[in-house]
Structure 1
Amino acid sequence: MTSDKPLSGLNAVCFESRLSESAANLLEKYGANVISAPSMQEVPLEKHDEVFGFGKKLFNGEIDILICTTGVGTQMLINALETRYELEKILDALRSVTIVVRGPKPIRVLKKYKVSFEVTVPAPNTWKEILESMDNDEQTSSLTEKTVAVQEYGESNDDLLRELKQRGAVVLPVRVYRWELPDDTKPLMKGIQAVLDGNVAMALFTSKTQIDHVMQVASEKGMESPLKEAMNNLFVASIGPVCTGGLHSYGIKVDFEPTRSKLGVFVREISHEFEDPSSQL
């Protein structure tokens, strides 16, 4: 290993999908040999019943707070509403509610449309930080009988919805897309097989759904138990607490979490783990 390429000669499998090329480029920058194994895709819902139900309440002034959880989801929410309503009507209505943003990606979408937001959730942007941020802001600290719409990303966050209800809110989940396996699962299967064959030293996960899909495919092939065992012999890197929780739920240890749940920080800080010659690998 060299100081500028601390991952030199290390084989890594990365299950990132939407930013798979960026993740591979970052890892290769530090010298790693990368197997990209995309494990998911975002699929818009065929029917937008929840979105249009939200829209009706929004235009009737029945939404008090909107929690925007992802940039992709916020954009899809606006796009879906735009199939039925004028864009300016949508934006004017959004400007009339208190908006909570989970991290920088929904912020970028809202700024593009000149829609303001009142509460910003800090890293690592889990449901716990959402609640803490809301509890600490006078505009969102009292939720009794307030209608809180939650733009969901792929799957419901039961913990967040439960805690909002316990605070007295009327909770309105709004799903705009779901997560599915990629249309082509051959690269994913190649990554899984590389782990089983002992051909990689590191596995990187950037979302809980990735591990769910990896284990789903392994289970369908009768490989779930051997894969868990093999994973526990690798250096497993998780981008944040939610992802870590998903790995732990399958009995897979996590060796590393970054200080911030950002892809560039994630890979850079992994490389720092291997700058020390005494690193475990």
Structure 2
Amino acid sequence: MSTHAEAVPPLAGFTVGITAARRAEELATMLERRGATIQHGPALRIVALADDTDLQTATRALIENPPDITVATTGIGYRGWIEAADGWGLGEDLLAALGQGEMLARGPKARGAIRASGLVDAWSPESESTAEVLEHLLERGVEGRRIAVQLHGEPLPDVVEALELAGAEVRTVPVYRWAPPADLGPLDRLLDAVLAGGIDMLAFTSAPAAAGLLSRASERGKHDELVAALRGPVLALCVGPVTAAPLEALDVPTVQPQRSRLGAMVRTLESVAPARARRLPVGGKEIELRGHAVLVDGVLRPVPPTPMALLRVLARRPGRVVARSELLAAQPGGTDEHAVENAIARLRTALGEPGLVQTVVRRGYRLALEPGTGNGGLTGGHCTADARTGPR
């Protein structure tokens, strides 16, 4: 079960919750390669394009009234749209309608998809951002122009409103429309794990996923608890600012990569995760508290949830005595002080170094903080044993 420090992956000991429906397996694989434990609870599902009546309605409307400008925001979304139109027998008519106007691509993948369909793109922003596309359109003027905007799961109300205020007629194309998951079980289990302290980071790859989790929490009467967790011990990791918007509207702090890509998001988590670990010199050892494991002199020691909960209480006041009653209150399902003794015994076994947690006669337990490391000399009483002989 132990792994030496040089081989400990950067996310080992942390549990990451994934809320995505699309590309969830890809994200999970990247995180697991870096040592993370994954819990997947999709907060939404993707409506199949061939069955999407909203997309078919929008496609027929554009064929009847071709747009002056079409904005392709994603390559996969644009390709899926064309393929769905082919399935409805509308593919050639759609390309003919789009070809009558100007094609703009938000990024290189969308540009490649446009060209693969036989059309030509006129412009694409270097930043690959929807904001720069909007700025470009407003600067050139859009009054009286018909503009089609291919969505990629998230609605773009600010973009649509800005174009309409500038005088454009805007038709949104709802490619990959989101809906609540058909099976709410995995999402509920993920939510329960977040509220129980079993999740260290929550990964969001779309705004509808963030909104979906918040909505489900509200349905279960746990909205405020979820927001409190996301403002506190649980890190909200978002692929970009659009994804983060529903969370930041509730004053939930988020972490985002500079570029809105899955790989960049995972690398960002690698860089911020170490700062979330608590490090202490205890009993002649260097310990590092991660989500569900502890590094003891660089050796990874998995710790069960209940002993880990007690260790976190002890670590809040390292070197000082913590009463059994306080530890009992922090122990999930604890009923008496004997349960605390059992959990402490399990904690010592998991750490592999019994002397790290010391028993104080008739008072409680303490971490054997090294002298001169900030405990102010307040050891809290006489211990039944020291780190060399081991506690009772």
CA distance in 1, matches of 2:87, 2:60: 10
For residue 113 of structure 1, what is the aligned residue in structure 2?
A: 117
For residue 194 of structure 2, what is the aligned residue in structure 1?
A: 195
Is 1:265 aligned to residue 264 of structure 2?
yes
TM-score, structure 1 normalization: 0.86
| Contact 1:124–1:240 under 8 Å retained in 2 | no
CA distance in 2, matches of 1:37, 1:51: 32
CA distance in 2, matches of 1:194, 1:124: 36
The one-letter code matched in structure 2 to 1:49 is T
For residue 248 of structure 1, what is the aligned residue in structure 2?
A: 248
SS at match of 2:270: helix
The one-letter code matched in structure 2 to 1:67 is V
CA distance in 2, matches of 1:86, 1:221: 43
CA 1:2–1:103 in 2, change beyond 3 Å: closer, same or farther?
A: farther
Deviations 1:46-74 (A, max 9, x none): 3522220111112xxxx210011233432
CA 1:276–1:194 in 2, change beyond 3 Å: closer, same or farther?
A: closer
CA distance in 1, matches of 2:116, 2:17: 35
SS at match of 2:197: coil
SS at match of 2:10: coil
Deviations 1:192-212 (A, max 9, x none): 111010012111111111111
| Contact 2:138–2:166 under 8 Å retained in 1 | no
Stretch deviating more after TM superposition (40-49 or 270-279): 270-279
| Contact 1:14–1:24 under 8 Å retained in 2 | yes
CA distance in 2, matches of 1:179, 1:161: 19
CA distance in 2, matches of 1:217, 1:231: 15
> Cα distance, 1:86 vs. partner?
5.7
User: Pick from 46, 59, 82: which aligns with 2:53?
Assistant: 46
Unaligned ranges ≥5, structure 1: none
Stretch deviating more after TM superposition (219-228 or 90-99): 90-99
CA distance in 2, matches of 1:142, 1:27: 44
Residue pairs, 1:110-259, within 5 angstroms? 110-123=114-127, 125-126=129-130, 128-135=131-138, 141-154=140-153, 156-233=155-232, 234-254=234-254, 256-259=255-258
For residue 388 of structure 2, what is the aligned residue in structure 1?
A: none
CA 1:149–1:194 in 2, change beyond 3 Å: closer, same or farther?
A: same
| Contact 1:65–1:98 under 8 Å retained in 2 | yes
CA 1:183–1:163 in 2, change beyond 3 Å: closer, same or farther?
A: same
Is 1:14 aligned to residue 18 of structure 2?
yes
- Higher gyration radius (CA): 2
Q: 4+ residue stretches of structure 1 with deviation over 4 A?
A: 1-4, 83-86, 275-281
CA 1:274–1:142 in 2, change beyond 3 Å: closer, same or farther?
A: same
SS at match of 1:129: helix
When the two chains are superposed, the root-mean-square deviation of aligned CA atoms in Å is: 2.5
For residue 70 of structure 1, what is the aligned residue in structure 2?
A: 74
Deviations 1:96-145 (A, max 9, x none): 3211222344334223223221222344624x222124356xxxx12121
For residue 90 of structure 1, what is the aligned residue in structure 2?
A: 94
CA 1:190–1:122 in 2, change beyond 3 Å: closer, same or farther?
A: farther
Stretch deviating more after TM superposition (100-109 or 205-214): 100-109
Deviations 1:171-195 (A, max 9, x none): 2223344211222222211211110
The one-letter code matched in structure 2 to 1:230 is A
CA distance in 1, matches of 2:43, 2:276: 32
Structure with higher RCO (Cα < 8 A, 6+ apart): 1
CA distance in 2, matches of 1:70, 1:167: 24
The one-letter code matched in structure 2 to 1:243 is T
Stretch deviating more after TM superposition (78-87 or 167-176): 78-87
| Contact 2:40–2:186 under 8 Å retained in 1 | yes
> Cα distance, 1:167 vs. partner?
2.2
> Cα distance, 1:214 vs. partner?
0.4
The one-letter code matched in structure 1 to 2:53 is E
SS at match of 1:121: coil
